Amino acid sequence: MGFLKEFKQFAIKGNVVDLAIAVVIGGAFGKIVTSLVEDIITPAILTPALEKANLKNLNELVIPGTAIKYGNFLSQVISFIIIAFALFVIVRMINSMKKKEEATPAAPSSTDKLLIEIRDELKNKP
């Protein structure tokens, strides 16, 4: 019974639940970025280059005589760069918000104020 109880405590911890939520959100974000690359960036930006190569989509870019699809690889590289940039921006915003929180000192608590008054009174006594 101790093993199951220990597993339950592990599975319910905030870090595990947060990680599970992050994985689900990351999967959804990956689909959004894939759609951005395949449905917006590729048609809008890469279409002229693809038309010059007589291709309709990026996945048709292959090394002649082989099964190496470097067009699909390029698509994945573009997706990675977009995801990495988005995560960089998010982490940068979070770090700047943390710095603002750290920069503002907390007001002394009522206990601290009382101790300061007692200290000051003791200093003033002869």
Residues 16-49 have pLDDT tens digits of 777 888 889 888 888 888 888 778 876 777 777 7
Look at residue 14 in the predicted model and tell me its pLDDT. 63
Give the pLDDT confidence of 56-77 residue by residue, as tens digits.
766 777 778 887 878 778 878 8
Give the pTM: 0.52
Look at residue 41 in the predicted model and tell me its pLDDT. 76
Burial of residue 62, with CB atoms counted within 10 A of its CB: 0-12 exposed, 13-18 middle, 19 or more buried: middle
Look at residue 1 in the predicted model and tell me its pLDDT. 63
Q: CA separation (Å) from 71 to 62, 78, 81?
A: 7, 11, 15
Q: Is the pLDDT of residue 85 over 70?
A: yes
Look at residue 94 in the predicted model and tell me its pLDDT. 83
58, 50 contact by CB (below 8 A): yes
Look at residue 40 in the predicted model and tell me its pLDDT. 82
Q: How many CA atoms lie within 13 A of 54 on its CB side?
A: 0
44, 78 contact by CB (below 8 A): no
54, 100 contact by CB (below 8 A): no
Say whether domain 2-124 belongs to CATH 1.10.1200.
yes
Return the structure tokens found at 15. Answer: 């870090």
50, 57 contact by CB (below 8 A): yes
